[in-house]
Amino acid sequence: MATDFARYDARHYETLSVADGYRAWSHLYDTQLDGNLDIVLLDRINSVDWSRVGEAVDLACGTGRIGAWLAEHGVTVIDGVDMTPEMMARAEAKGVYRRLLREDIRATSLPGACADLVVNCLSIGHIPDLHRAYGEVDRLLRPRGHFVLVGYHPFFLISGIPTHFKDETGCNKAIQNYVHFFSDHVTAAVQNSWLLAEMHERIVDTVWVQRDPPWRRHIDKPVSFAMVWQKPRSRLV
């Protein structure tokens, strides 16, 4: 189902596990992510009325950037789940989560049907088993609830560029990735009878390149995507 990124790797940076990578990146993460990959996509979503969400779960909440965005957009009750304590300490400091659980997003201890909205941003490319992740989202969602998924674009991954960061010595480090093609997402979603409400792709444009000229070599290429899935009101058995 998932393809190991290693077969596409064009950069050959030292590759860290998720735990080691995000431990090392945690103190620089918020200063290095400016929202270009994900917030611009969240801003385009119109099938979710954020201010009417009762309870939300932010899976792979990291430093809480997305929890903060949700809170700014009127979501008042948010639970966060992540496996990297150094990232979670920063999420805690943002003060936007009702509770934070240090768990695997594929098997949380949250009760079933606890959320009107589940968000997962920039972590699905670290997950080898998409079906398990989608299955857990389905368990958490209430009928008619939404799943907002923002991911690093498979096109970019197969161009050979992994999730990576510069450490404080200026050395590039990659974090273990898996490639999921859009058909993999659709297959996993269809298994849960979800409906696709919206999809967007973030293309590197001239505005981005003017602000950050090294991105010129990627102009007109997609770097990230957002999908909004909706769980049906009921399922035929």
Ligand X SMILES: C[S@@+](CC[C@H](N)C(=O)[O-])C[C@H]1O[C@@H](n2cnc3c(N)ncnc32)[C@H](O)[C@@H]1O
29/194 with CB nearer ligand X? 29
Strand stretches in the chain, DSSP E: 3-4, 14-16, 56-59, 78-82, 99-102, 115-121, 141-152, 164-166, 172-175, 178-179, 195-203, 222-230
The site string for ligand X over 119-158 (x = CB under 6 A, - otherwise) reads --xxx--xx-------------------------------
Separation of alpha carbons 155 and 153, rounded Å = 5
Is 104 near ligand X (CB under 6 A)?
yes
Is 65 near ligand X (CB under 6 A)?
yes
* Closest chain position to ligand X (CB): 62
Contacts of 170 (CB under 8 A, 6+ apart): none
Distances (CA, A) of 35 to 12, 43, 214: 26, 10, 17
Q: Which of 24, 45, 48, 66 binds ligand X (CB under 6 A)?
A: 66
Beta carbons of 229 and 196 less than 8 angstroms apart: yes
Is 68 near ligand X (CB under 6 A)?
no
Is 87 near ligand X (CB under 6 A)?
yes
42/114 with CB nearer ligand X? 42
Is 174 near ligand X (CB under 6 A)?
no
Residue ranges binding ligand X (CB under 6 A): 18, 22, 38, 60-63, 65-66, 82-84, 87, 104-106, 121-123, 126-127
